[in-house]
Amino acid sequence: MKEYLKAQSKTNEAVLGNGFSADELERFSKSDYRWAENRNKQFRQRIVKKGEIYQFEFGKNFIPEMSYEHRGLIIGVKQKLLYVLPIFSYDSTKYPDVFHPIDSPNSKSEMLLLKSSEFVFINHDSVLKLNDIRTVSVNRILYQHSGRIDPASKTYMLIESLCLRKYFPVFYHEYEKNTKIIEELNQKVSMLAEEKEKQEVTIKDLCAKIEAIKRDV
């Protein structure tokens, strides 16, 4: 009880000391209420799939971690745990060099620009936070957004590729190197297969000529 009262006193001190804007105070309060309301509830029985977009309550976290209510892209499902990339509104003044496969393909930014003209689940340009994968309970879902990013699409595969680069650069470097070697070997196999077919045709022609000579002798 002592620690609880101490925590509440510190929170009130931060709030009354103008440490919160009105908007953040509302989001902060909603986060606390949702946690208190739902912390003992059973897991939701719902099917969640990769590529789907949901509204999540991420809770209270330290900067620069994502906090409070935001959209998120599901990139993995493990029973009742979800692996999520947060999505939030794009501000060109804060993020002038965001990555986009067409507009800025050479950007090394941790943010991927999602244009509203390209994705039906957003009403205005947003960014996907590539370097902040969240592992969250299925109970953090508030509701589902319409639209999804097909896991078989180039866009989704690009997102997973970018995440690998951000989180596991050494592994990704080895993966790319091995992939290139495999591609080169496959090309050599194809060339050898073509050469084999040509040789088989040549041998067949020679055999036919030999048989013709035998008949003429």
For residues 167 and 57, give the distance between their C-alpha atoms in angstroms, rounded to a whole number.
Answer: 24
Distances (CA, A) of 211 to 103, 121, 203, 205, 217: 66, 71, 12, 10, 10
148-126-116-70 Cα dihedral, nearest 10 degrees: 50
83-77-160-128 Cα dihedral, nearest 10 degrees: -40
Residuewise pLDDT in 10s, the chain (217 residues): 878 777 777 777 777 776 677 777 788 888 888 888 888 888 777 789 999 999 999 988 888 878 888 999 999 998 889 999 999 889 888 888 899 988 888 888 889 999 988 888 888 899 999 988 989 999 899 999 888 899 999 999 999 888 888 888 777 778 778 888 888 888 888 888 888 888 888 888 888 788 777 777 6
Angle (deg, nearest 10), helices 154-167 and 169-216 = 120
Give the pLDDT of residue 126.
92
Q: Cβ(55)–Cβ(145) under 8 Å?
A: yes
For residues 99 and 114, give the distance between their C-alpha atoms in angstroms, rounded to a whole number.
Answer: 9
Tokens 């999804």 correspond to what residue? 148
Q: Taking the CB of residue 90, how many other CB atoms lie within 10 A of it?
A: 19
Query: Measured between alpha carbons, how far apart are the two ends of the chain, in Å?
Result: 112
| List of residues 6+ apart from 84 with CB closer than 8 A | 54, 56, 72, 73, 74, 75, 133, 134, 135, 136
Element (H, E) at 205: helix 169-216
Which pTM value belongs to this model? 0.73
